[in-house]
Chain A
Amino acid sequence: MGKFIRFLILSLLSLSGHNGWTQVPSAPMKDTEAFRTALLKMSSGVNTIESDFVQEKKLSILSGNLISKGYFCFRRENLIRWEYSVPYRYLIIINQDKIFIKEENNQKQYDIQSNRMFQEMNRFISGCIQGEILKNEKEYKIRYFEDPKSYFVTLIPVSEKMRQMLNEVQIWFDRKDLTVSRIRMMESGGDYTRIDFTNKKLNADIPLEKFRFK
């Protein structure tokens, strides 16, 4: 009986690890310097990234999580396209210092300078994807972990102001090619946003057309 209960508890624990609160690598990274060097070398050779994504938003006021899916692409320098297709169609294009947002019949375009929040988010997300954010040790306390599948980095904002908005940022890097496979932004109160990147292609030919506002 005791064995059965132990088995049941272990099974439940392993199941809960796969639902929402995904298991995170907890072993400290053995050679952080080698990882950082390899990451910077890899990202300097990457001109385009395209990928599908699944975004999960946990909000304490809702019993279920908001899950959206879509297509993401990036092209140096600073061209980003987020194309949400499920459950709503929503397009965000960042082209240098301009943002274009389109939803159904409504579209808007403005200077990224006029939306400080978006400017910061853009800097932050593209920094995460390219690994540039790991250079920013003044703004974040950075810790490195690993497991057989991933390199895992946590960033805790140094500034109290920033921490009120983002408690911690977690980035999973695929061990095979050092691309970002997951980002999780933890907010105060347990809410979080998790973005999983799948079907990644590096240096594919992404036409500039994809980043034009129509």
Chain B
Amino acid sequence: MPGKPALIAFRRSLACLFMVQILLGSCSFSAFKGYRRDTGGEIIKPIVSWFRVDSGYLMMNTKIDLMNRHLSGIMIVKPLPMMGYRTVLITELGLKLLDMEFYPDRPVKVHYLMESLNRGSIIKTLAQDLELMLMTGRPYENPEVFRDPSTGEKVLKFKDRGRRFYYGIAAGDGRASNGLLTSGIVKKARVDYFSDDGLKIDSVKISHFNINLQLQFLKIHEYSDNAVE
């Protein structure tokens, strides 16, 4: 029988191994397998965000799942000048849950946050997720380009205040099909964009690597033309 100190040391090393496994599993170097740095000097066109719409705003059915907690409602995304966005989440019956403003060159501005969401870590996570989705993490500065030699698909990497935003662009398409947010070498969140016609967004899914948090957005299709900006 091992003694108590040996048992404690064994448990500690198991915990360390577990942590290393988590870290390795979430490292960003495995983010886009098979992609190679492209040094061809191609002029990269700015990525067109799915949320720069002509209709004035977008309404998305929203579902947030954190562990066994759920929050649902309707997200209104309004494009602003200078590549900014205002996002307001309201409950199905109309009550406001959050109101945030995003610009590529400024910190996120929180206009309103429901009391139970108003905690530092929640604000930071929600803001980062929405930045990733809206592409406001300086996506108009010179990116590094990676390319998959077999498909021609490329990944653009943008650096922003210690974070890295990667966006996968399908060949011949200016739109992102997915994106990844990393901090250092740790993968934090992934966004996937879905569109039936390749022109308008239908749904978005954001999932986290290290916490059990998922956000889903489904575009609400309007049946008559009221409430237009």
Expressed in whole angstroms, the Cα–Cα distance for A104 and B219 within the complex equals 10
Interface residues of A, dominant DSSP:
mixed
| A121-B95 in contact (CB<8A) | yes
Query: How many residues on the B side are at the interface (Cβ–Cβ under 8 A)?
Result: 39
Specify which of B91, B94, B227 lies most central, judged by the most chain A CB atoms within 10 Å of its CB.
B94
Interface segment, one of A5-13, A56-64, A140-148, A196-204: A56-64
Q: Which residues of B contact A (CB under 8 A)?
A: 56-57, 59, 61, 63, 68-72, 76, 78, 86, 88, 90-97, 99, 111-112, 114-116, 218, 220-229
Expressed in whole angstroms, the Cα–Cα distance for A57 and B90 within the complex equals 10
A145 to chain B, nearest CB (A): 23
With contact pairs A86-B223, A101-B92, A187-B96 given, residues A62 and B76 touching in the complex (Cβ less than 8 Å): yes
Expressed in whole angstroms, the Cα–Cα distance for A172 and B226 within the complex equals 25
Chain A residues with Cβ below 8 Å from B223 are 85-89
| A114-B78 in contact (CB<8A) | no
Indicate if A3 sits at the interface (CB-CB under 8 A): no
With contact pairs A86-B224, A161-B115 given, residues A57 and B94 touching in the complex (Cβ less than 8 Å): yes
| B93-A82 in contact (CB<8A) | yes
Query: How many residues on the A side are at the interface (Cβ–Cβ under 8 A)?
Result: 43
Q: Which of A31-73 contact B (CB under 8 A)?
A: 55, 57, 59, 61-68
| B92-A187 in contact (CB<8A) | no
| Residue in B78, B88, B112, B222 whose beta carbon sits within 8 Å of that of A88 in the complex | B222
| B114-A101 in contact (CB<8A) | no
Chain B residues with Cβ below 8 Å from A206 are none
